[in-house]
Amino acid sequence: MEMTSASRIYVAGHAGLVGSAVLRRLEALGYRHILTATRDQLDLRDQAAVNYWFKANRPEFVFLVAGTVGGIMANATRPAEFIYDNMMIHATVVHASHLYDVQKLLYLGSSCIYPRECPQPMTEDMLLSGPLEPTNESYAVAKIAGIKLCQAYRTQYGRRFISAMPTNLYGPHDNFDLTSSHVLPALIRKFHDARMGGTREVVVWGSGRPKREFLHVDDLADACHFLMQRYDEASHINVGTGEDLSIAELAMMVREAVHPDAELVFDAAKPDGTPRKLLDVSRLHALGWTHTITLRDGIRSTYEWFLEQERQGLAVRAR
Ligand code: GDP
């Protein structure tokens, strides 16, 4: 059975950066039966609760895009939460999807599953070929377990459970809290606060030399839909742009969009993390999917979204 506008589709993690984008995409494409549950309604770490919810709601397709996520500091200082929450969430949702006969499930991982010293760009077959980056090892181990979980249910029960590994993501509904966010929303917040406060100095963590790849979450949501329709293999598949830049270059791009008069100050006391994380996206490109939102445009539109939240007086989400 393939996913149609009449299918019952569960987006696990619909309030987050990725889930909210998947929801927008599915709604825009005319899917009529999208199922969601808030954290208060359903604790995804609780297998009995998840089973009960699946029994009552009977989803046919599942986008498993829920998880505890965060930037380099959050990962390094809260490793227990990152490993426990993520391992539990993947296990309960995958298991319930098997018990209640879900037709297809897409599980979302992260590019941090690859070894710290991985040859660049990173192909899918580099998984488990070397030691992980220590600053996010807990998260990476949980995400790797999620891939293996989907593969095991495919092997043992013939389940159509697939995994996609996105690169660093950004966009509306991101976390802009400086202690737990990723670099791109953190820089938007820092340049914005400096402009508002009439100061020029903006602190960028680390050396500015690490390189990262960034994908707008609306592009990711489109890729998730594409893969749900078109991909059905045991191997996980990378989702990215295939282009990266240094953190210093990124900071200059955000400066241009938010506060052109600012000066960058690098704080060497903060960690750099993995030196480079660029995905090889040849497999995805060969299937016929490529991203459409350039980083420059994506930063501008994300900043507009951020400003709109500020204008409405809403607290920009801090997770
Ligand atoms: P990572 O991709 O898992 O390392 O996660 P991040 O997005 O948190 O960090 C990416 C890189 O940006 C790291 O080298 C950080 O040190 C650097 N960086 C520079 N300024 C900031 C900042 O204000 N916040 C965060 N989270 N990272 C920053």
pLDDT number for residue 318: 45
Q: Which residues of the chain have pLDDT under 70?
A: 314-319
Residue 277 sits at φ, ψ, to 5 deg, of -145, 85
At 58 the pLDDT is: 98
- Name the residues annotated as catalytic: 139
CB distance 183 to ligand 1 below 6 Å: yes
Q: Nearest Cα to 222, choosing from 9, 69, 6, 26?
A: 26
- pTM greater than the 0.75 cutoff: yes
In whole angstroms, give the CA distance from residue 319 to residue 236.
28
- pLDDT value of residue 196: 96
CA of 236 from ligand 1 middle (Å) equals 25
Atom of ligand 1 nearest to the CA of 187: 23
Residue 7 CB–ligand 1 contact under 6 Å: no
Which residue lies with its CA nearest to atom 3 of ligand 1?
72
Say what the pLDDT of residue 313 is.
81
User: Distance between alpha carbon 102 and the CA centroid of its chain, in Å?
Assistant: 23
Ligand 1 atom 22: residue of nearest CA: 183
Query: Is the CB of residue 263 less than 8 Å from the CB of residue 63?
Result: no
Give the three-class secondary structure for 122: strand
From the CA of 70, how far away is ligand 1's center (Å)? 10
pLDDT of residue 1: 85
Counting residues of the chain whose pLDDT is more than 70, the rounded percentage is 98
Decide the pairing of beta strands 211-212 and 276-277. parallel
